[in-house]
Amino acid sequence: MHLLMIGGSDAGISAALRARELDPSADVTVVVADAYPNFSICGIPYYVSGEVTHWRNLAHRTTADLEAAGLTLRLDTTARRIDVPGRKLLITTSDSAEELISYDKLVIGAGAVPVRPPISGLDKLGPGDGVHQLHSMDDTFAVMRTLEQRHPASAVIVGAGYIGLEMAEALNVRGLDVTQMEQLPEVLPTVDLELGALVHAELASHGVKVLTGTAVRQIGLAGPGEAARLRVDATADGAAMSELADMVLGVTGVRPDTELAVSAGAALAFKGTIAVDRGMRSSLPDIFAAGDCVVTHHRLLGETYLPLGTTAHKQGRIGGENAVGGSREFSGSLGTQVVKVFDQVAARTGLRQHEAATAGFDPVTVETLADDHKAYYPGSHRITIRVTGDRATRRLLGMQLFGHRHAEVAKRIDIAATATFHAMTVDAVSDLDLSYTPPLGSPWEAVQMACQAWDRQATPIRSPQSAHGKRPVP
């Protein structure tokens, strides 16, 4: 059997490795658009900051490791067109020659491409001017050339999502004066405004200038006498404003890369993603798809789009298994995410209040504070926790956390993700048998205490007044 994988990142490599694991006799070829298969794009900010000392350290596996696993890598090779009836893929090789590769089964892991915002002047400027996007290793090298050759003193980051926040920290660590511009009311819009404000404060405490509610309109070269290379014009609260900087980084999100699949006749789904079933089968015969280019099954929402590395790895593994005759299904995502911003960490899983209401639930969200371990033991930190549950069924719908980087926020959101994944009630979280020792936790784990706080607010008070069915307003 000849299996062909398009894409050398999370989904494509996971599919290829799983197929070879299950069927060592399978001939597995991976078509990679660049020279960097299986690199951690999520780790780029830490290479920029200097915490990861060499770019090669970002490789999950080296090329030699992948080839030793039995994969044939076609690097610097572009997939051009899929001949579905003929089961062939037209490629352009690294020396610009065209070639046809036959396949028995094909897995598309094309990933996503950056969203290019409608900013005037952006199409005329590029890395040579100090204007960058950050999505690939080549983008990373361009950023590093600007940092090492031009020695910029200042930077404007357009966008305050996960990568934008991590890059704000990375450039700040390198000694740049960083201004972060976000069009929405608060940074990190995947969490509630209350937690976004805490992230905002952490950025500001480290000297990052944060401008929220600020829409960038134009990027251009600075004028004579201006002590920077670039000028960023924006609108904030209806008023025009501008910032000068030596470099500009745009990180405003991604969209699914579906051009190849669409040209082959694949059906599309939510937000223009490739439609796949739970086994990662596309609408085209013998063609699977996985990762940031496909629709995501969400355990609470149904079909959505959640381009996450964790999801891509799972989907790719399933696509590779089923391509060699398996019958595994993707169990679904909850959008569990975590980000470190200087000394603090923000995390979320499941649904927030407005998302749950839109999905048809009757949500109640309760915020509380809890210590990460017993306060009498030195070094304890307070964690802000927001719990969202359904009023009628009491089902846990989601949770958000914000706390110190040493407060095990990532592992605590995993407790909530596990409980939400298995449709537990908020009350049932208190029944979980979790570990305890004073330097590391409390008899009631912080997540359990937050769920008990939710229970107290969401449950009717047993009094004559509540006998008429009145409940406290969330």
Structure tokens at 392: 């009628």
SS3 state at 10: helix
State the Cα–Cα distance between residues 366 and 448, nearest whole angstrom: 13
SS3 state at 393: coil
Residue 263 vs residues 82, 83, 87, 103, 274: alpha-carbon distances, Å: 8, 10, 14, 18, 12
State the Cα–Cα distance between residues 165 and 342, nearest whole angstrom: 9
SS3 state at 102: strand
Predicted local distance difference test score (pLDDT) of residue 468 = 39
Predicted local distance difference test score (pLDDT) of residue 461 = 58
- Please give the chain's pLDDT, 474 residues, in tens: 999 999 999 999 999 999 999 999 999 999 999 999 999 999 999 999 999 999 999 999 999 999 999 999 999 999 999 999 999 999 999 899 999 999 999 999 999 999 988 999 998 999 999 999 999 999 999 999 999 999 999 999 999 999 999 999 999 999 999 999 999 999 999 999 999 999 999 999 999 999 999 999 999 999 887 777 999 999 998 899 999 999 999 999 999 999 999 999 999 999 999 999 999 999 999 999 999 999 999 999 999 999 999 999 999 999 999 999 999 999 999 999 999 999 999 999 999 999 999 999 999 999 999 999 999 999 999 999 999 999 999 999 999 999 999 999 999 999 999 999 999 999 999 999 999 999 999 999 999 999 999 999 998 655 444 433 433 333
State which amino acid sits at residue 197. Answer: A
| Chosen CATH of 343-468 out of 3.40.50.300, 1.10.3470.10, 3.50.50.60, 3.90.420.10 | 3.50.50.60
Query: DSSP letters along 115-169, please?
Result: -----BTGGG--GGGTEEE-SSHHHHHHHHHIIIII--SEEEEE--SHHHHHHHH
Query: DSSP letters along 416-466, please?
Result: HHHHHHTT-BTGGGGGS-----TTT--SS-HHHHHHHHHHHHHSPP-STGG
State the Cα–Cα distance between residues 364 and 402, nearest whole angstrom: 19
Q: How far is residue 183 CA from its own chain's centroid? A: 19
**122-250, which class in CATH?**
alpha beta
State the Cα–Cα distance between residues 206 and 185, nearest whole angstrom: 20
Residue with tokens 């997540």: 447
**Whether domain 2-113+255-323 has CATH 3.50.50.60:** yes
State the Cα–Cα distance between residues 37 and 186, nearest whole angstrom: 35
Task: Supply the DSSP symbol for 275.
Answer: P
Predicted local distance difference test score (pLDDT) of residue 226 = 78
Name which of 135, 234, 113 is nearest 183 in CA terms. 234
Residue with tokens 């780790």: 43
Q: How far is residue 115 CA from its own chain's centroid? A: 14
Residue ranges of the alpha helices (H) in 286-437? Answer: 309-323, 353-358, 409-421
State which amino acid sits at residue 342. Answer: F
Predicted local distance difference test score (pLDDT) of residue 223 = 82
Predicted local distance difference test score (pLDDT) of residue 439 = 97
Q: What angle do CA 109, 110, 111 make, to 5 degrees?
A: 95
SS3 state at 46: helix
Map out the domains of the chain as residue ranges. 2-113+255-323, 122-250, 343-468
